[in-house]
Structure 1
């Protein structure tokens, strides 16, 4: 018996959804950085897709179902808000920031070392 209801075992699936809110952006920024540092490997990109699958799919299912409430006014606005905040703001944007900032830092590092006249020489 969980949360007072014996038939509500599926609420265990919402634990990753709740943990995704504080920790998801950090995880996605880290995977974006990992993808930017290793551009030819498939493992970082695969993990970038697999890590958010459970929390995003469970919350999307809870947002979409039940389908009989789709005719209610404001339902489309709720869905668009969910997509913007939970999917875009907590999942995609941190990945893009981690990836973009790491690539930018690498490009600036290469440009700075090229402006000095080549590779730094040890003395």
Structure 2
């Protein structure tokens, strides 16, 4: 009675795990990073803060979405559609866009209120 291992290691697809490690770390730390980038963009408008706000989350957010798209997308299948939309909502909107908008918006409102108070 031979027992085969449950996971096979050493095949050509193992490198994908290296791409998913930043995606796993993005879930707990991504909102803090994006909030900080939003604050940076609000305090110092320019090319570099906005460029980093796009380039930094590109790999940890893009890899899971690309992996889902490589599974032969079928929009008529409700399971695939729910998986894709759930991943999109959590990674793109919840962990990336919303914290950036909150950091940017709160910083801009705070600076506007301070400027208004100092003029009075």
Unaligned runs of 5+ in 1: 116-123
Aligned partner of 2:78 among 73, 77, 82: 73
CA distance in 2, matches of 1:48, 1:73: 32
TM-score (norm 2): 0.85
For this pair of structures, how many residues does the alignment match? 112
| Runs (5+) with no aligned partner, structure 2 | 1-6
Q: CA–CA distance in 2 between the matches of 1:82 and 1:68?
A: 14
How far apart, CA to CA, are the structure 2 residues paired with 1:25 and 1:101?
15
C-alpha RMSD over aligned residues: 1.6
**Match for residue 5 of structure 1 among 6, 9, 13:** 9
Question: 2 CA distance for matches of 1:68 and 1:25?
Answer: 28
Is the CA contact 2:74–2:81 (under 8 Å) kept in the aligned structure 1?
no
Q: Which deviates further from its counterpart, 77-86 or 101-110?
A: 77-86
SS of corresponding position for 1:74: helix
1:82 counterpart = 2:87: yes
Of 46-55 and 57-66, more deviation after overlay is shown by 57-66
Match of 2:106 among 98, 101, 105: 101
Q: 1:25 aligns with which of 24, 28, 31?
A: 31
How has the CA–CA distance of structure 1 residues 88 and 61 changed in structure 2, closer, same or farther, with 3 Å as cutoff? same
| Residue 57 (structure 2) aligns with | 52
Runs of 4+ in 1 over 2 A off after TM superposition: 68-74
Stretch of structure 1 that moved more, 49-58 or 69-78 = 69-78
